[in-house]
Amino acid sequence: MDSLINWLWQEHRGKTVGVILGLVASILFVTLGFWRTIFIIICLSIGYYIGKRVDEHHSFNNWLETFKNQR
């Protein structure tokens, strides 16, 4: 089983992640409903974007200032 998971991750990473995300999304839609799931997806996307910016050594304060100036 361990070698199967390793093989899937090495050879089919994108497909594996896509299937897992699809499974999680479908479980959320069935258990929580459409709008609550969409809200969770939006929150996750915003968190991912902010985390990505921090990982790329962009200042969070500069990002907030840019966001304020665009409005």
Listed in order, strand segments (DSSP E) in the chain are: none
**50 pLDDT more than 90:** no
Mean pLDDT along residues 41-54 = 86
More confident residue, 8 or 66: 8
pLDDT value of position 4: 86
Question: Model pTM?
Answer: 0.61
Distance in angstroms (rounded) separating the CA atoms of residues 17 and 48: 15
Span 21-32, pLDDT tens digits: 999 999 999 999
Q: Residue-wise over 8-26: b if at least 16 C-beta within 10 A, else e?
A: eeeeeeeeeeeeeeeeeee
> Taking Cα atoms as reference points, which of 43, 16, 14 lies closest to residue 35?
43
